[in-house]
A and B are shown apart, each in its own frame.
Chain A
Amino acid sequence: GQNIDQPTEMTATEGAIVQINCTYQTSGFNGLFWYQQHAGEAPTFLSYNVLDGLEEKGRFSSFLSRSKGYSYLLLKELQMKDSASYLCAVAKAAGNKLTFGGGTRVLVKP
């Protein structure tokens, strides 16, 4: 089976940096995705990591360590619109199957 853990909620200030951690245990690892989901809306793709290291995309970066079963999503220069849930999802080799964590709700305060 797969266990994916991420904090339930985080609060940060506009303009600051927040790091959302995700730990996982799985067999047949085929990459890790991060999605953003605003309340009442569809999840939208943010990043994908399959090799160890940091992937940077503008204000968002994602890191992966396969040996530690660990990833983080880093959000810089936080804006109010970044208030959302951030979902960590692990892909298994067969059938492009994604297993999602419970999501981390980030609240950005002025």
Chain B
Amino acid sequence: DTAVSQTPKYLVTQMGNDKSIKCEQNLGHDTMYWYKQDSKKFLKIMFSYNNKELIINETVPNRFSPKSPDKAHLNLHINSLELGDSAVYFCASSQQGRNQPQHFGDGTRLSIL
């Protein structure tokens, strides 16, 4: 199936741990994104990469580090997890161009104990 797929779907871990979330798209898109959706359902952009180059880097703690090994993959590594990191993290991708919609993965539900 053509899609944006992210793993794992659920992640339950303890404060202070380090974890990674992986994202892959087979839509042939040039641009990939990471969003955070908190308990109030606000969806906020964190990072965006275009052809492996970082183009958007919002005010995110530097415990969060994205990595794009190629344009089809954008992974998110989080160090020293905190309670406030509990949220749903969505990966998305799009073609370049202003009218290009973003296609979202199913989300990773991160719970910090």
Contacts and interface: CB of A to CB of B under 8 A. Distances in A.
A96 B94 CA distance: 9
Contact of A100 (B42, B97, B103): B42
B40 A96 contact: no
B63 interface: no
B41 A97 contact: no
A50 B50 contact: no
B98 A97 contact: no
Interface residues of B, number: 25
A95 B48 contact: yes
Interface stretch (A11-19, A36-44, A60-68, A71-79): A36-44
B2 interface: no
A45 B44 CA distance: 16
A107 interface: no
B56 A97 contact: yes
A109 to B, nearest CB: 21
Contacts of B40: 102
Interface string A27-59: 000110100000001111100101000000000
Given A42-B90, A42-B107, A43-B90, A98 B102 contact: yes
B41 A102 contact: yes
A87 B50 contact: no
Interface of B: 31, 40-45, 48, 50, 55-56, 90, 94, 96-107
11 contacts: A42-B90, A42-B107, A50-B99, A87-B43, A93-B98, A95-B48, A95-B50, A96-B48, A96-B100, A97-B48, A97-B56
Interface of A: 30-31, 33, 41-45, 48, 50, 85, 87, 89, 91, 93, 95-100, 102-103
By Cβ-Cβ distance, the 7 closest A-B pairs, closest first, are A45-B101, A42-B104, A100-B43, A95-B55, A95-B56, A30-B98, A43-B104
